[in-house]
């Protein structure tokens, strides 16, 4: 829990790891740039000891100081993601060394750099996969996990990219090894992850099925590029997959439901199919399961979360995304679906909307212009 720190009204004029030149000017690559005068404190969203959305309240905290390989970002926008809800509820604590402040992605302006940063300079517009801390006016992120805004993007759209695009790229294409010509089933097709997965799978040549919880959401899945959408409230997705694939099954399943879908997921996979688990919204335990399909059909069951990965591992994902996906974003071939934008101070309302599952696409927090 954060407590307001008394302020003496004096601005902080330097950062420990920021290169400084003569006459109080920061230098980078031998080029002099004006140092930014920074406040000592910032507004954050505090979640205290955890609980429901009502625990999310604005508070004051010291500005973070960038490590040598980090940039300090003046946050303009940050995304609301399921891991934020889990952290607020006390079920997803940050790993050692990570910021206790919520928020795993942001977009904004670089205002300071660590001593080993080579790519970015103050004034650059970037988005970043953060190690926490993005529900705030200022946030640090490793340079390796930071990317420029795609051409034509504003802060809201750029801030909606990192968490979903890193996650889908690492899991559907990495662990899932999805290739052109294969078929993928994406659960939760209208979530931020789902929309991204549908668009990218289609863009890279896959046949795409998606599940969603209403006819309206199924129609949205089709609009995003899915070849077929299954309303899981009115149909058994395993039977629909069997029908749609002429009993062959799908090559990859990207699943955020977990235990409740496990057996039907196994039934829905083709020979040498891959089940990739990225969340457990339907529980993390399976009371009774027939594991024989794993052996008989040579299935792979895998999964991952993003936070435990090293900076080097996340940096590799960032480089792949910039090379292969950022040009698609700039051309408009893929892109985030923004459902609603809340002011930072209304993070509690944003979390209520997230937990209602009434949204289609991303929920965002606007922090600054």
Mean per-residue pLDDT of the chain:
91
**b/e burial code for range 152-164 (CB count within 10 A of at least 16 → b):** ebebbbbbbbbbb
Average pLDDT of span 138-153: 98
pLDDT at position 37: 82
Does the structure show a pLDDT above 80 at 147?
yes
Average pLDDT of span 79-104: 95
User: CATH assignment of 165-303, given 2.40.240.20, 3.90.1640.10, 3.40.920.10, 3.40.50.720?
Assistant: 3.40.50.720
pLDDT at position 72: 98
Average pLDDT of span 287-314: 96
pLDDT at position 296: 97
The SS3 call for residue 222 is helix
CA distance 194 to 217: 11
Per mean pLDDT, which range of 13-22, 72-81, 257-266, 319-328 is the poorest? 13-22
The SS3 call for residue 257 is coil
Residue with more model confidence, 5 or 267: 267
Dihedral sign (CA 160, 163, 165, 166): positive
Average pLDDT of span 14-29: 38
Does the structure show a pLDDT above 70 at 17?
no
Domain ranges of the chain: 34-161+308-366, 165-303
pLDDT band at 36 (very low <50, low <70, confident <90, very high): low
CA distance 203 to 100: 36
Residue with more model confidence, 217 or 17: 217
Does the structure show a pLDDT above 80 at 8?
no
pLDDT band at 287 (very low <50, low <70, confident <90, very high): confident
pLDDT at position 210: 98
Does the structure show a pLDDT above 90 at 335?
yes
Measured in whole angstroms, the distance separating CA 334 from the mean position of its chain's CA atoms is 16
Per mean pLDDT, which range of 159-163, 211-215, 286-290 is the poorest? 286-290
pLDDT at position 12: 39
Average pLDDT of span 264-284: 96
CATH number of 34-161+308-366: 3.90.180.10
Does the structure show a pLDDT above 50 at 231?
yes
CA distance 270 to 33: 57
pTM: 0.91
Average pLDDT of span 228-251: 98
The reply to whether 165-303 shares the fold of 34-161+308-366 is no
Decide: 298 and 275 in contact? Cβ < 8 Å: no
Q: Which pLDDT tens digit goes with each residue over 170-213?
A: 999 999 999 999 999 999 999 999 999 999 999 999 999 999 99
């Amino acid at each position: 829990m954060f407590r307001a720190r008394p302020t003496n009204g004096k601005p902080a004029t330097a950062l420990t790891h920021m290169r400084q030149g003569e006459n109080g000017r920061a230098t980078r690559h031998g080029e002099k740039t004006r140092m930014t005068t920074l406040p000592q404190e910032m507004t954050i969203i505090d979640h205290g000891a955890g609980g429901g959305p009502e625990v999310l309240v604005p508070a004051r905290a010291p500005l973070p100081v960038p490590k040598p390989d980090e940039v300090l970002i003046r946050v303009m926008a940050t995304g609301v993601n399921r891991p934020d809800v889990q952290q607020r509820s006390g079920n997803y604590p940050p790993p050692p060394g990570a910021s206790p402040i919520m928020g795993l992605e942001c977009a904004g302006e670089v205002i300071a750099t660590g001593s080993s940063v080579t790519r970015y300079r103050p004034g650059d517009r970037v988005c970043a996969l953060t190690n926490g801390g993005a529900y705030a006016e200022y946030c640090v992120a490793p340079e390796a996990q930071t990317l420029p805004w795609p051409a034509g993007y504003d802060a809201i759209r750029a801030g909606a990219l990192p968490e979903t695009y890193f996650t889908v790229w690492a899991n559907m294409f990495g662990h899932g090894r999805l290739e052109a010509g294969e078929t993928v089933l994406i659960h939760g097709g209208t979530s931020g992850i789902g929309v991204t997965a549908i668009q990218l799978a289609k863009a890279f040549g896959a046949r795409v099925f998606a599940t969603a919880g209403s006819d309206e959401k199924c129609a949205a899945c089709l609009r995003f590029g899915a070849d077929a959408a299954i309303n899981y409230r009115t149909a058994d997705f395993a039977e629909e997959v069997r029908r749609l694939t002429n009993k062959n099954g799908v090559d990859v399943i990207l699943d955020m439901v977990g235990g409740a879908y496990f057996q039907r997921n196994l039934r829905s996979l083709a020979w040498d199919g891959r089940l990739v688990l990225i969340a457990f919204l339907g529980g993390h335990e399976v009371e009774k399961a027939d594991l024989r399909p794993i052996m008989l059909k040579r299935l792979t069951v895998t999964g991952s979360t993003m936070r435990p990965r090293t900076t080097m591992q996340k940096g590799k994902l960032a480089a792949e995304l910039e090379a292969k996906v950022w040009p698609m974003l700039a051309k408009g071939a893929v892109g985030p679906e923004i459902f609603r934008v809340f002011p930072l101070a209304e993070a509690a309302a944003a979390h209520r909307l997230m937990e209602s599952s009434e949204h289609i696409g991303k929920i965002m927090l606007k922090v600054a212009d």
